[in-house]
Structure 1
């Protein structure tokens, strides 16, 4: 199967109606594309992986269903196994090891993207481009801020990727700033 963004976006919007979940998918897609470019990988494939990682979450939000149902749907359509494996590994509950750079990167950017959007939303100017790394790190220590974001996953993701925290946070902020209009930040 030839992976392309247009088809992936149709799948996303068929299953996901929540504006915040669509923005999350777009943010993860963007971070994945930028890392793929940095690593010399297939940016469209990595982007599609980010775009679809949570497409089933709105309909199947339990740990018993997500991302299993989504992967089952994508497998039925003919999506490549490396994309499916990355999606299965984007959460720790599945027990699927993240062995490929794509899978490690998806895990490392997923929770961070959500956290960075939350950081932008509370800024007076609501601008992702003006979010500072030191502010993000301070907010990560505040368990009451964006409490649904799993800080341990953010830390583990950076460790698995082998990236410096400051550089990773700055890289993802920069990536998201490129599509700030789409994200509303």
Structure 2
């Protein structure tokens, strides 16, 4: 079983974008929360969340043939390193276009939390405080209805993901939001002093 350190090393090697690294950390956080809720292994689920987009910067969607883009290239590399098929299949399954069915609960959870973490992050960053602690479930639901907000976030994936897990949408949002709030500083969502400029750059070594 690869460790979190193994996954983080690959993330740093393959991804330079700080915002993309933070996204992967957010998905890891959400996956650990769901593993705890469902009685699953937090380490393997967390690692799956952390690694799921590590190849995106090098192989962006639709840049090449379907079998030579994210996440297929990344999974090819993971398999060459001997990573477990459960993680590889979950990573492949989080993208519709791979055609890989989401059979395991891990795969369903990864798909369900991926887009939602992006929506919650965006919801936090438009707050004056830029703090995820100031985001609530009702606010996230409101942002979901605003199609002009965070256009890159697929709302249907969030809804379908919650349904596949058998979790009511508000509860699903609440689980992921609470996890991100607990890990706010590492995710760059701890907020800025009121007097700080709205253009303050978020960075960390995470």
Both proteins in one fold, TM over 0.5 = yes
Alpha-carbon distance, 1:20 to partner: 0.3
Residue number in structure 2 paired with 1:47: 46
173, 179, 183: which is aligned to 1:179? 183
| Structure 1 unmatched runs, 5+ | none
Equivalent residue runs for 1:31-46 within 5 Å: 31-46=30-45
RMSD, aligned α-carbons: 0.8
Q: Secondary structure at the match of 2:186?
A: helix
Q: What residue in structure 2 maps to residue 149 of structure 1?
A: 153
Mapped to 2, the partners of 1:146 and 1:116 lie a distance apart of 10
Do structure 1's residue 13 and structure 2's residue 12 form an aligned pair? yes
| Aligned-partner Cα distance in 1 for 2:114–2:60 | 16
- TM-score norm. by structure 2 comes to 0.88
| 3-state SS in 2 of match to 1:180 | coil
The worse-fitting range, judged by mean Cα deviation, of 23-32 and 63-72 is 63-72
Deviation at 1:130, TM superposition (A): 1.8
Runs of 4+ aligned structure 1 residues displaced above 6 Å come to: none
Corresponding residue for 1:124?
Answer: 128
* Equivalent in the alignment of 2:113: 109
Q: How many residues align?
A: 184
1:71 aligns with one of 69, 72, 75: 75
* Gapped regions of structure 2 (runs ≥ 5): 190-206
Flag the structure with higher helix content: 1
Q: Which residue of 2 aligns with 1:57?
A: 56
Inter-partner Cα distance in structure 2 for 1:170 and 1:126:
19
Give, in angstroms, the shift of residue 148 of structure 1: 0.5
CA offsets, 1:74-124, max 9 Å, x none?
A: 000000000000000001111111111100000000000011000000011
